[in-house]
A and B are shown apart, each in its own frame.
Chain A
Amino acid sequence: MNKIMLPASTPERPKSARRDIKTIVNASLARQHAAERRFRWYGLIAISLGLAFVLLMFGNIIGKGYRAFWQTYIQIPITFDLSIMDTSGSGKRDLQTIDGADYSVLVRSGLRKLFPKAEGKSQLRALYGLVSADSPYELKRKIQQTPNLIGVEKEIWLLASAQVDTLFKGNINRMLDESERSIKNDQIEWVDKLQAAGRIEEKFNIALFINGDSREPEQAGIRGALMGSLLTLLITFLLSFPIGVATAVYLEEFATKGRWTDFIEVNINNLAAVPSIVFGLLGLAVFINFFGLPRSSPLVGGLVLSLMTLPVIIIAGRAALASVPPSIRQAALGMGASKLQMVGHHVLPLAMPGMLTGSIIGMARALGESAPLLMIGMVAFIVDVPKNFFDPATVLPVQIYLWSDLPERAFVERTSAAIMILLAFMILMNGLAIILRKRFERRW
C-alpha cells in the first residue's frame, strides 16, 4: 500500500526548547498591528495633506479670480454734440476735428444729465470718477468707427471705474467709515440709483484679453504679456528643440562612451538642477552686456529660457532614444543603411513622440518661469503689445508678479484671473503631452 516515508524517530524540538512560534507571534501581534495601523494613518494623512494643498490652491485662486472675467459697465446717455466737443472751433465735420475733439466733455455732461444734483468741485470729481478714465477714448473710437453718430443722442455702455466695479461685486464693506474705504458715500448712493434704474450691470470682461498693461485696473489686460510669452516661447522652442534633439542623438547613438561624454552628461544633469536665477545672471552678463542684445526683449528672454529648457529636452530625448530596441538598429544597419540613415529613418521617428512629450513639458515649465526674466529686464511696466522679438515685453508670470504687488482689490482679482489663464495654458500643454504619450506610446 502507500508508504509515506515518515522520519524514523518522532521529532523532538531542538535542545534550546523554544516556545511555539504561534504563541510567540500571538503575543506580539497586537503591538505589530497597532504600529501598522499608525503607520498607515501617517501615510494617509500625508497624502491627504498634499491633495488638500492642491485643492486649496486651486479653490483659492479660482474663488478670488473668477469675478475678474466680468466687468461692471454703466449706461450713460451721450449726446455727440459737435459744438461742445470741438476744441478747434472750426465746426467742420472732418476727421481732423473728430481726432482733436474733447470727448471727456461728453462723458461729463452725460453723467451730469443722470445726476443733475451733483455740484461742487469734489462732488463732481466723485461723479466723474464713476466711469473709467478710458471712457473718452472709448467714445472717440466709437465715433471713428461710425462718424454718423455725430449729433445723435445715444445710450452708451461705458466701463465703470475700478472702485465702482469692486463695490458692485460686493467687495467693499459699506459699513466702514467713508474715510476708510476707497469709495465715497455719494458714489455708493449713485451706484444704487443706477442699479435701480438698470443702468449698471456686469458684462464679459473683454478688456482683460485685448488690452495691454495699465495703471488703471479696469483697463489692464494681459494681451501684451500673452504676446510676450508667445514670442519668448517661440524663440525658446526654435533654439532648444533642434539642439536638444541633436545632443540627445549624438550622446545616445554616436558618441563612444568615455570621459568626454561622461563630462557632458554630468554637465547636463547639473544644469537641470542649477537655480533658474543663475541663468538670469548669465543672460544679463552675456546676452545683454556682452553681445548688446536689446534689454527686456523676447529674444533675450527666449535665449535664457532655452538654456534652461535644453537639459530637460536632452534628458527626455535620451530616454526616448534608449527605449527604442537595439533590434531595429541592427535591422537597419543590416540592410546597409549608414548610421545616420539608421537614426534618421528608423530610430528618430520612433523616438519622436517621447521627445515631443519631453519638449512640451519643458516648454510648459519655461512658460511658468519668471525669476531669470526679472534679471534681464522683462519686468518693466509695458503698455504696448510687443510686435517683434526686439520690442520690450513682459511675460504672463512676470505680469502676475507685477500685478500682485499692486494694492487695489481689483488688481488682486485680475492677478488671480491671470493665474487662471496661465494655469489653463499649463494644463493644456501638459494635457497635450499626456495625449501624445498615450497615443504614441509603444511598449517593446
Chain B
Amino acid sequence: MQFFLLLALVILSACAYFIGRNRAFVVASGKIRNLHSLPSFYGCYTALWCGLPALIVFLIWVTLQPGILINLVLSGLPKELQDLPQDRLNLVVNDLKNLVSGHFISNTPDGIVLEAANRYQDMRAIGNAALLVTVLTLVSGGIAYAWCKISPKLRARNCVESVINIFLITSSTIAVFITIGIVLSVLFESIRFFHQVPITKFLFGLQWSPQIAFNSDQVSPSGAFGTAPLFAGTLLISSIAMLVAVPIGLMSALYLSEYASPKFRAIAKPALEILAGIPTVVYGFFAALNAAPLIREIGTLLGLQVASESALAAGLVMGIMIIPFVSSLSDDVINAVPQSMRDGSYALGATKSETIKRVLLPAALPGIVGSILLAVSRAIGETMIVLMAAGLSANLTANPLEAVTTVTVQIVTLLTGDQEFDNSKTLAAFALGLLLFIVTLILNIIALHVVHKYREQYE
C-alpha cells in the first residue's frame, strides 16, 4: 500500500512536470523568450510543488504511524494487561506485531491479544486511508498553486535551484548526523550501564564474566564487568597483527616503489591489493580452519601448550589482512617524497638502500606513522577474524599461545541472540562500543592530522 502510494506520487509528479511546462508555454503565448527561465524549469517547479510537500508528510506519517497505533491499542487493553511489568508488556506487543504482520507466533494467542490485533489492523486501515486522502490533497493543492503562480516573470529556475541547493546542503550534513547518531546511540545506553556498574570498575576491573552477572542478577553485577582483559586481548592480537603487517607491508611498498621494474610493479601491486578486497569473514574462516590448527600442531611438535583458539592465529591472519592497508598507505607517503631528495642522495654516491634508509624513511616518517596508526585503529575494530578465530574466554595474559578475547568479540556475543534491551549485559555491549569508538576516534584523528600535515609539507 505504502509502496504503491509512493509510486503514485512519482507518477503524479511526472505528470505535474508536463502540466507545468505546458502552462509555461501557454502563459508565454508560445514565445519562450518571454519567459524568465526555460520551460523545463517551470515543469520542475510544478513537480516540486506537487511531490515535495506530499513526500515529506508521507515520510513523517509512515515513521510515526506504527508507534502511535501501538500506543492507542495498548491503552485500549484491559487494565490487568496494562499493569504488566515492562518486559512482559513488550512480549505482548511483540506477539501483537507478529500477529498483525501475519507471522507465526510461538504460543497460541489468547483472545485479548487477538482482539487487539484486529483493532490494530482496523485502525491501520483507517490511518492508511487518511494518509491517502492527505497526500492526494497535497498533490492537487501543490499543482493548483504552481499553476496559478506560473507567469513569465516567475523565477522558476531560481526556485528550483534553491531547492536543489537545500538538498545538497542537507546531504552534506548527513555525515555529521551519522557521527552524532553514533555518539548518542552508544552514549545513552552506556550512561544507563554506568548507573549499574561504576565506570572505574568497568575500566580497571580485572574480571570479565557477564554470563555470571546475568545469571545471578540478584547480586550486584559490578564485579564481573572489568574490561582490562578485553583490552589486553585486543592489544595482544593487534600487536601480533602489526608485527606481521608493518614489516611486510612497508618493505613491499619500498620494494615496489624503489626497486621493482614497472612490469613487475604493474602485476604485483594489484595482486597484493587483492588481499584488501577479500571479505573479513573469509579471513576468519581461514584463520579458524587453517591457521589455528596449524599453529597448534607446530606448537605440539615444539612441545608447547597452544590453545586451539590462540591469539597468535587470529593475530597472524589479521596481520595478513592489514598488509595491503599498510603497503598502499605507505606507498602514497613514499611517493609524496619529492624526487629531488632521492636525486640529492644518489648524486652523492649513495646506494638505493642508503637513500631509502637515511633520506626517504626519515622524510616519510610522519606519514608512515600516520598510516600505521590508521592500521592499528583498523586492527582494533576488526571483528570477524577474532570472532571466528579467537576465543571467548577473557584471559588477562600476554602469552600469544593462549586464548584471549577482544572488545569486538564481546560486543557481538553480548548482542546476538534474542535479548531484552535493558539488562546490563546488552548495555555493557554499548559501553564497550563507546570505548571502542573513542579509542579509534582518537587514533584516527591523530593519524589523519599527522598525514595531513605531512602532505602539506611537500605541496
**Chain A residues engaging chain B, CB cutoff 8 angstroms:** 25, 32-33, 35-36, 38-40, 42-47, 49-51, 53-54, 57, 60-61, 242-244, 246-247, 249-251, 254-255, 263-264, 266-271, 273-279, 281-282, 284-286, 289, 291-292, 294, 307, 310-311, 314, 338, 340, 364-365, 367-371, 374-375, 377, 379, 390, 397-398, 400-401, 404, 412, 415-416, 419, 422-423, 426-427, 430
* Chain A residues in 8 Å Cβ range of B186: 278, 281-282, 285
* 29 A-B residue pairs with CB within 8 Å: A40-B255, A43-B251, A43-B252, A43-B254, A46-B248, A47-B252, A53-B323, A54-B271, A61-B286, A244-B171, A250-B168, A255-B172, A266-B445, A270-B179, A274-B381, A275-B380, A275-B382, A277-B408, A277-B436, A278-B440, A281-B415, A282-B182, A286-B185, A367-B279, A371-B383, A374-B412, A400-B281, A419-B282, A419-B285
Q: Is the CB of B416 within 8 A of A254?
A: no
Q: Is the CB of B251 within 8 A of A42?
A: yes
Known pairs A254-B165, A370-B384; list 18 more (Cβ under 8 Å).
A32-B351, A32-B354, A33-B351, A35-B354, A43-B255, A44-B255, A50-B272, A51-B272, A54-B275, A57-B278, A264-B173, A266-B448, A273-B378, A281-B429, A281-B430, A285-B189, A338-B161, A412-B289
* Chain A residues in 8 Å Cβ range of B289: 404, 412
- Shortest Cβ distance from residue A5 to the other chain B in the assembled complex, whole angstroms: 27
Query: Which residue among A35, A250, A423 has the maximum number of chain B CB atoms within 10 Å of its CB?
Result: A250
- Shortest Cβ distance from residue B376 to the other chain A in the assembled complex, whole angstroms: 11
B325-363 contacts to A, CB under 8 A, are 327, 349, 351-354, 356-357
* Chain A residues in 8 Å Cβ range of B182: 274, 278-279, 281-282
Known A-B contacts A285-B430, A404-B289; A371 and B185 likewise in contact (beta carbons under 8 Å): no
Of all chain B residues, the one with the shortest Cβ separation from A369 is B279
**A277, B182: Cα distance in complex, Å:** 11
Which of under 10, 10 to 19, 20 to 34, or 35 or more describes the interface residues of B?
35 or more
Of all chain A residues, the one with the shortest Cβ separation from B320 is A53
* Chain B residues in 8 Å Cβ range of A367: 279
Q: Which of B188, B274, B381 contacts A278 (CB 8 A)?
A: B381
Main secondary structure of the interface of B (DSSP, over half): helix
Q: Mark B413-424, 1 if CB is under 8 A from A, else 0.
A: 001100001000
**A158, B283: Cα distance in complex, Å:** 35
**A292, B29: Cα distance in complex, Å:** 53
Q: Which of B157, B181, B324, B382 contacts A282 (CB 8 A)?
A: B181
Q: Is the CB of A273 within 8 A of B440?
A: yes
Q: Is the CB of B252 within 8 A of A401?
A: no
> What is the number of contacts between chain A and chain B, taking CB atoms within 8 Å?
259
| 8 A-B pairs with least C-beta separation | A275-B381, A368-B279, A43-B255, A46-B251, A285-B185, A39-B353, A246-B171, A371-B383
* Chain B residues in 8 Å Cβ range of A375: 411-412, 415-416
Interface flag for B230 (CB, 8 Å): no
Q: Is the CB of A270 within 8 A of B444?
A: yes
Known A-B contacts A39-B353, A247-B175; A281 and B282 likewise in contact (beta carbons under 8 Å): no
Q: Is the CB of B408 within 8 A of A275?
A: yes
**A72, B186: Cα distance in complex, Å:** 50
* Chain A residues in 8 Å Cβ range of B157: 338
**A294, B447: Cα distance in complex, Å:** 38
B442-459 contacts to A, CB under 8 A, are 444-445, 447-448
* Chain A residues in 8 Å Cβ range of B354: 32, 35-36
**A273, B356: Cα distance in complex, Å:** 29
* Chain A residues in 8 Å Cβ range of B272: 47, 50-51, 54
B287-328 contacts to A, CB under 8 A, are 288-290, 320, 323-324, 327
- Shortest Cβ distance from residue A352 to the other chain B in the assembled complex, whole angstroms: 16
Main secondary structure of the interface of A (DSSP, over half): helix
Known A-B contacts A46-B248, A430-B277; A277 and B381 likewise in contact (beta carbons under 8 Å): yes
Of all chain B residues, the one with the shortest Cβ separation from A279 is B182
* Chain A residues in 8 Å Cβ range of B271: 51, 54
- Shortest Cβ distance from residue A68 to the other chain B in the assembled complex, whole angstroms: 14
Known A-B contacts A32-B351, A46-B248, A53-B320; A247 and B382 likewise in contact (beta carbons under 8 Å): no
* Chain A residues in 8 Å Cβ range of B174: 243, 247, 310
**A364, B252: Cα distance in complex, Å:** 25
- Shortest Cβ distance from residue B350 to the other chain A in the assembled complex, whole angstroms: 8
Of all chain B residues, the one with the shortest Cβ separation from A239 is B174
Interface flag for B61 (CB, 8 Å): no
**A376, B256: Cα distance in complex, Å:** 41
Interface flag for B66 (CB, 8 Å): yes
Known A-B contacts A40-B259, A46-B251; A422 and B168 likewise in contact (beta carbons under 8 Å): no
- Shortest Cβ distance from residue B267 to the other chain A in the assembled complex, whole angstroms: 9
Known A-B contacts A47-B252, A51-B268; A271 and B448 likewise in contact (beta carbons under 8 Å): no
Q: Is the CB of A46 within 8 A of B255?
A: yes
Of all chain A residues, the one with the shortest Cβ separation from B409 is A277
Interface flag for B369 (CB, 8 Å): no
